[in-house]
Amino acid sequence: MIETRADAGDPVAMFHLGNHYSYGLYGLEKDMTRAIELFERAAEIGGSSRGGRFCKTQLGVFEHNAGNYDIALQHYMIAAKMGHQGSLNKIKNMFVNGHASKADYAEALRGHHSAAEEMRSPDREEALALLERTN
């Protein structure tokens, strides 16, 4: 079913199928080439709310693990500017470890903050306040 949805162009299904291929889950053989193809395609068509930022982060992880820090930073930067907190954290870690500049981290912070402001709404604020009260 997930393959059918991915073939139909669903970026969230592509993200999940890419994860299945990258780790060899659910009876699939580990296939990093196929996983990267799915993440790249999903990131191109996904947009921030449809899996694009998660795919960009995952692509950044692959590049980071391969030692391609400049390319990883580019993927993380795009995802952070789409509001992905995990990517912002990865850029911070890259800065701390000397793989990103202070200017890179500052740019990511500004972009992340801007995305967060765009997503603000009274309904979202009310839901967050309710969550805080219940925890």
| 76 located within any domain | yes
**What is the distance between the alpha carbons of residues 86 and 102, in angstroms, rounded to a whole number?**
18
**The domain containing residue 116 runs over which residues?**
72-135
Query: pTM for the whole thing?
Result: 0.70
Examine residue 132 and state whether it is found in any structural domain, yes or no: yes
Residue 98, classed as helix, strand or coil, is coil
Q: For 10-58, what is each residue's pLDDT tens digit?
A: 888 888 898 899 889 888 999 989 988 888 888 777 656 556 778 888 8
User: Into how many domains does the chain fold?
Assistant: 1
Identify whether 130 is part of a domain. yes
Instruction: Answer for the pair 104, 92: CB distance below 8 angstroms, yes or no.
Output: no
Inside any domain, residue 51: no
Task: Please report whether residue 117 resides in a domain.
Answer: yes
For residue 109, name the pLDDT band (cuts at 50, 70, 90). very high
Residue 124 has pLDDT above 80, yes or no: no
pLDDT recorded at residue 52: 73
In a domain, 67, yes or no: no
Query: 4 lies in a domain?
Result: no
